[in-house]
Amino acid sequence: MKKLSLLLVLALLLGLALPAGLAEEPVTIEYWQYYFESKVALIDELIAQFEAENPGIKVNHQHFPYDSYQEKIAASVAAGEGPDIVNLFYGWVPKYVKSGVLQPLPAGSFSPEAIEAEFAPMVTINKFDGVYYTIPTAVRTLGLLYNKDILAENGYEAPPATLDELVEMAVKMTRRNAAGELELEGLTFQPDGQLHGFFRPVLLRLFGQAPLSEDYKTVQWNASEAGYEAFKWMTDLATVHKVGEVNFMTNDATAFRNGAAAMSIDGSYRLSALETDGTLNYGVAPIPSHEGRQSSFGTFWTNGILAGVEGKELEAAEKFLAFLTSEPVMRTWTQRIGEIGARTSIAQDEELLKDEKLAPFIEMLPVADSYFYVDEAADRKIVVDAVDMVLLNDMDPREVLDWAVNEAQALLDSYWK
């Protein structure tokens, strides 16, 4: 009896070992992104599709809360436990490249020539010394959201087309109660929300001033009278026209979502939240022009390969990245997530342009610029503090802008040294 059971066990083991020995070890790569419900769900589906098409590769998908995402990456990379492919905000890339965290994209699938021919112009912001380190699936632009009901109540049928019209309409639609307290904002005013990203680069460009030099080494917000005018136009919204207040309804997105703001400058990423609410009657328009100029702010979450990845994992990562940035995937992404596929072919897609909420964002792609952040949090704080100095401390906008440029220049200098 003992001999028989021993034979049985041996046979079992052999039976298990043989097929395993014949089949190939699947390569496993790890992909990290921040938690955003629709993105996480879609990535899971895409991974299933990719694994079906590539049987030798397994992709392990991990996601983390947005607030602690950067810290998580930093701590893991420092401990040598990072992923193979990481999804990053484009504004973090300069720092990551400088610290040697990312490796250049494999030239086979991602040559600079191919990228520049096929992708939206804003992706060039992540090019360093002629080399690309990251590539996005989709990008976002800034547009003008407006509450159709509030506009109609005030006799407006169409959103403003110029900055002057924007101010005029905002003033008319702003409502205050008997005590003078704001009840309804004409235009949201939240520097630490979307307004700082609107100021540079969009507002500066609309007034005719490029925010940075071509080599990204010099801050030029106050390089001409146009720069001062742009900054004053922004602070006037709160001090002169009084169409909005900082922290009204705690922030811009909350105010607009709850119908407490007539208009709001916000990004295409806001669409998914507004659609989920489902009750707001809102429209989307391109950012109003000024003196014949059009501009928008382009941001994107982009994918890079970590520096230590090599061999089979690197090949697998390259394949997965090519898949993630392929046209069909981008099309699905645009429809499901509300971000716009990063290839210029997507921007001209007839089907996608039929969506009246997405179309204005897509139309702005050719005029959308990104901004070279070396420290996004610090840069944002400079603009936020600058606005507060004018609003709370009654300082002269010209002096404040000069101060802000000095601070921003110091940031750039410490990066490029």
Partner 1 sequence: MRRMSPLARRQAAWAYAFLVIPLVFFLWIRIYPVFSSFHIALLEWDIFSKVRPFVGLANFERMLTDRVLHKALLNTFEYILISMPIGLALALAIAMMINALNRGAGLFRTLYFIPYITSVVAVAAVWKWMFMKSGGLVNNILTGIGLPAQPFMNSTSQALGVVASNVIWQGLGFKIIIFLAGLKQIPRTFYEAAAIDGASRWAVFRHITIPLLNPTIVYLTVLTGIQTLQVFTQVFAISSGGQGGPLNATLSMVLYIYQKAFKSFDMGYASAITVLLFVIILIISLAQMKLVTRKVEY
| Binding string, residues 272-311; x marks residues near partner 1 by CB under 8 A | ----------------------------------------
- On whether the CB atoms of residues 31 and 320 are closer than 8 A, the answer is yes
Residue placing its CB nearer to partner 1 in the complex, 94 or 159: 94
Q: How far apart are CA 262 and CA 185, in angstroms?
A: 6
Residue placing its CB nearer to partner 1 in the complex, 349 or 388: 388
Q: Is 389 in the site for partner 1 (CB under 8 A)?
A: yes
Residue placing its CB nearer to partner 1 in the complex, 251 or 272: 251
Burial of 195 (0-12, 13-18, 19+ CB in 10 A): buried
Residue of 388, 343, 400, 357 whose CA lies nearest to 115: 343
Residue placing its CB nearer to partner 1 in the complex, 183 or 291: 183
Burial of 250 (0-12, 13-18, 19+ CB in 10 A): exposed
Residue of 343, 370, 357, 336 whose CA lies nearest to 286: 357
With contacts defined by CB under 8 A, how many residues of the chain interact with partner 1? 35
Q: How far apart are CA 199 and CA 112, in angstroms?
A: 30
Q: Which stretch binds partner 1 (CB under 8 A): 21-29, 58-66, 198-206, 386-394?
A: 386-394
> Considering only residues 193-232, where is the footprint of partner 1 by CB under 8 A?
193
Q: Is 402 in the site for partner 1 (CB under 8 A)?
A: no
Q: How far apart are CA 412 and CA 177, in angstroms?
A: 45
Q: Is 349 in the site for partner 1 (CB under 8 A)?
A: no
Rg (CA), the chain: 25
Q: How far apart are CA 97 and CA 90, in angstroms?
A: 11
Q: Is 258 in the site for partner 1 (CB under 8 A)?
A: no
CB of 276 to partner 1, least distance (A): 21
Element (H, E) at 29: strand 27-34
Q: Is 164 in the site for partner 1 (CB under 8 A)?
A: no
CB of 219 to partner 1, least distance (A): 17
CB of 199 to partner 1, least distance (A): 15
Q: Which two tokens stand for residue 394?
A: 């009654």
DSSP, res 364: T
| Binding string, residues 84-113; x marks residues near partner 1 by CB under 8 A | -----------xx--xxx------------
List residues binding partner 1 (CB under 8 A).
70-71, 74-75, 77-78, 95-96, 99-101, 179, 181-183, 192-193, 245-251, 375, 377-378, 380-381, 384-385, 388-389, 392-393
